[in-house]
Amino acid sequence: MKKWWVLVLLVAGSAVFLALWPSPALAQGPEPASERLYPEEVYEITRELYCPLCAGLRVDVCELPVCDDMREIIVQKLEAGESKEEIKQYFYELYGPKVLGAPERKGVNWLIWVLPGVVTVVALVGGIRWLRRHFADSPEGHHVSVVDIPAPYQARLERELRRFEQEG
């Protein structure tokens, strides 16, 4: 009998691991009740910035005064001709990496982005190799021949088989 539960555990473990894969923080709050009178460019930027005081709340939905100020600064910087990346860099320098909602992709932080993928690939390759080895039908196989059965059991087996044939 093949042990399919091992495969199920491997797939379930991979799914849990992928669910824990780091990704940019998503907004935790509801969308704003009333739309603000900001252009679409401001919305694009505020959707990618996070409140420096709240935990995981985007600037476009946060009602704190600091986020109102951030939206005003974004409008001013856009009017001054600054690009989206320059504005994000300004807030990064002002508040740190928390405002971007995701770890930077440099230095040791690369491990946060790369390690889960490497571990997943290694686990899948190792799991597939183990399953192939464990369930492989080799020439010697897992089958027991009549020759391998001890004599007392072989005699009993033959009696049972004769009785079964006579009854059936």
Residue 53's CATH number:
1.10.8.640
Task: Identify whether 51 is part of a domain.
Answer: yes
- Per-residue pLDDT, averaged over 106-128, amounts to 84
Residue 130, in any domain of the structure: no
The residues, any chain, with a CB within 8 Å of residue 81's CB and separated by 6 or more, are: none
How far apart CA 64 and CA 103 sit, in angstroms, is 24
Cα torsion at 140, 145, 150, 154 (round to 10°)?
A: 170
- Between 58 and 112, whose confidence is greater? 58
CA dihedral 34, 38, 40, 45 (to 10 degrees): -100
pLDDT in tens, 60-102: 888 889 988 999 999 999 888 898 899 999 999 998 888 887 7
* Residue 125, token pair as written in the block: 């390759």
Residue 133 pLDDT > 50: yes
Residues 70 and 59: beta-carbon distance below 8 Å: yes
For residue 122, being part of any structural domain is answered with: no
Please state, in angstroms and rounded to a whole number, the distance separating the CA atoms of residues 42 and 57: 16
For residues 137-152, average pLDDT: 63
Do 59 and 50 meet the contact criterion of CB atoms below 8 Å apart?
Answer: yes
pTM of the full structure:
0.44
Q: Does some domain include residue 97?
A: yes
In a domain, 79, yes or no: yes
d(CA 97, CA 113): 15
Q: In angstroms, rounded to a whole number, what is the distance separating the alpha carbons of residues 152 and 164?
A: 18
List, for residues 5-27, the tens digit of each pLDDT value: 666 777 777 777 766 666 555 54
Mean per-residue pLDDT, 133-162: 73
Nearest to 158 by CA among 76, 7, 149, 23: 149
The number of folded domains in the chain is 1
Containing structural domain, residue 81: 40-102
80 found inside a domain: yes
Report residue 159 CA to chain centroid gap: 58
Residue 110 resides in a domain: no
> Which DSSP state fits 142?
S
Q: At 2, is the pLDDT very low, low, confident or very high (cuts 50, 70, 90)?
A: low
